[in-house]
């Protein structure tokens, strides 16, 4: 059986990355499997362990870090960790699945560094910071302070975009969907 490939999607919040990832996951011909991250934060009422995240204690997370069981990980807040388990990714790859990631910029670059020949790193860029701000405000889910923090972070994240294999500017969702589908299909079909 042919081993799968990795497709990494990173972007500032509000760029449309998650929408594009879900669009691709609905294409059975791409043979994609979503990489479920591990976290040490508390499970929310609407979340399922093993579907949304692997929920593990901070102590267990730290133990897994010591044992080098993560491809990438980050302590987002004190004792609040997120990471990608090597076992999760290797298991999917060995089943011949193409693993897709919806991940922060630094995590995406870390995965690319560890699988340089077997991964496609896609950065989804908003058409402008102004448009990004409008999208975040349109969600009506966050305070103006939180939006300002996300915009500041987006400006920082965009600086990393040049380190990705491809930059998709999401100024038209239908066009972006077609573009990512074409890119991913081509990448999956290339022989190594």
pLDDT at position 171: 92
Judged against a pLDDT cut of 90, whether residue 46 lies above it is answered with no
Supply φ then ψ for residue 45, to 5 degrees: -55, -35
Q: What is the pLDDT of residues 147-173, one digit of tens each?
A: 888 888 888 999 999 999 999 999 999
* β-strand pairing of 166-169 with 32-34: unpaired
pLDDT at position 94: 93
Structure tokens that stand for 88 in this block: 């999760």
pLDDT at position 143: 86
- Percent of the residues in the chain that have a pLDDT greater than 70, as a whole number: 99
- Can you tell me the distance from the alpha carbon of 160 to that of 105, in angstroms, rounded to the nearest whole number? 7
Strands (E), the chain: 6-10, 32-34, 38-39, 54-55, 70-77, 80-85, 98-102, 119-125, 166-169
Q: Give this prediction's pTM.
A: 0.88
pLDDT at position 50: 92
Find out if CATH 3.40.50.300 is the number for domain 6-37+93-189.
Answer: yes
Domain ranges, ordered by start, for the chain: 6-37+93-189
Judged against a pLDDT cut of 80, whether residue 191 lies above it is answered with no
Judged against a pLDDT cut of 70, whether residue 49 lies above it is answered with yes
Question: Which residues lie across from 55 on neighbouring strands?
Answer: 39
Q: What is the mean pLDDT of residues 43-59?
A: 92
Q: What is the pLDDT of residues 68-105, one digit of tens each?
A: 999 999 887 788 899 999 999 999 999 999 999 999 89
Question: Whats the size of the chain, residue-wise?
Answer: 192
For residues 127 and 35, is the Cβ–Cβ distance under 8 A? no
């Amino acid at each position: 059986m042919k081993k799968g490939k990795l497709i990494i999607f990173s972007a500032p919040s509000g760029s449309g990355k998650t929408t594009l990832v879900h669009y691709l996951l609905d294409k059975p011909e791409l043979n994609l499997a979503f990489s479920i991250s591990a976290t040490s934060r508390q499970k929310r009422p609407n979340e399922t362990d093993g579907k949304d995240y692997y929920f593990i204690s901070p102590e267990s997370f730290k133990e897994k870090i010591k044992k080098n069981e993560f491809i990438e990980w980050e302590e987002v807040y004190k004792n609040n960790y997120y990471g990608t388990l090597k076992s999760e990714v290797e298991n999917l790859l060995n089943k011949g699945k193409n693993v897709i990631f919806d991940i922060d910029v630094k995590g995406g670059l870390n995965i690319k560094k560890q699988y340089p020949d077997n991964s496609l790193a896609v950065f989804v860029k908003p058409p402008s910071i102004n448009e990004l701000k409008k999208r975040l405000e349109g969600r009506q889910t966050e305070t103006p302070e939180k939006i300002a923090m996300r915009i500041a972070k987006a400006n920082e994240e965009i600086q990393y975009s040049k380190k990705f294999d491809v930059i998709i500017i999401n100024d038209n969702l239908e066009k972006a969907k077609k573009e990512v589908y074409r890119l991913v299909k081509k990448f999956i079909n290339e022989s190594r």
